[in-house]
Amino acid sequence: MRKSPPMSFRKLFVVAAAIAALGVAAGAAFAQTAQQKAMIDSAKAQGVVGEQADGYLGFRQPSSDSTLTEAVSVTNNARREAYARSAEVAGTTADVAAARAFETIVLPRVSSGQWYRNAQGRWVQR
């Protein structure tokens, strides 16, 4: 008789599927304007902003640009809502959904030369 996989693996699989189904990246894209997206993309290319293992954008370098700060906030708020919805569907927490989204959706999309903060809290350049 075949044993079923551990519940934690199943739960992570369901979280990943729920996140993909809800379109975390699409949710953030709809919340932000084209100008905000372009601003964030530019800040990522310059190494000012990066993705984080907690599923959110973070400032790698301090910025006094209030427009950029607002753009990051809008994106993070949209992600927060998407993670909460996917967590509800998967029966887990938003934190687990966010971390899983980072691993499965966000990190693979980090371009060469851009920065991300790993689970140990260190900024790493891809």
- Residue 125: the pLDDT is 97
Supply 93's token pair: 């927490």
Supply 44's token pair: 């990522």
Where the chain has pLDDT below 50, the residues are 4, 21
Q: Determine whether 123 is exposed, middle or buried from the number of CB atoms within 10 Å of its CB (0-12, 13-18, 19+).
A: middle
- Residue 10: the pLDDT is 59
Q: Are 46 and 65 in contact (CB under 8 A)?
A: no
- Residue 8: the pLDDT is 62
- Residue 115: the pLDDT is 98
- Residue 32: the pLDDT is 82
- Residue 28: the pLDDT is 56
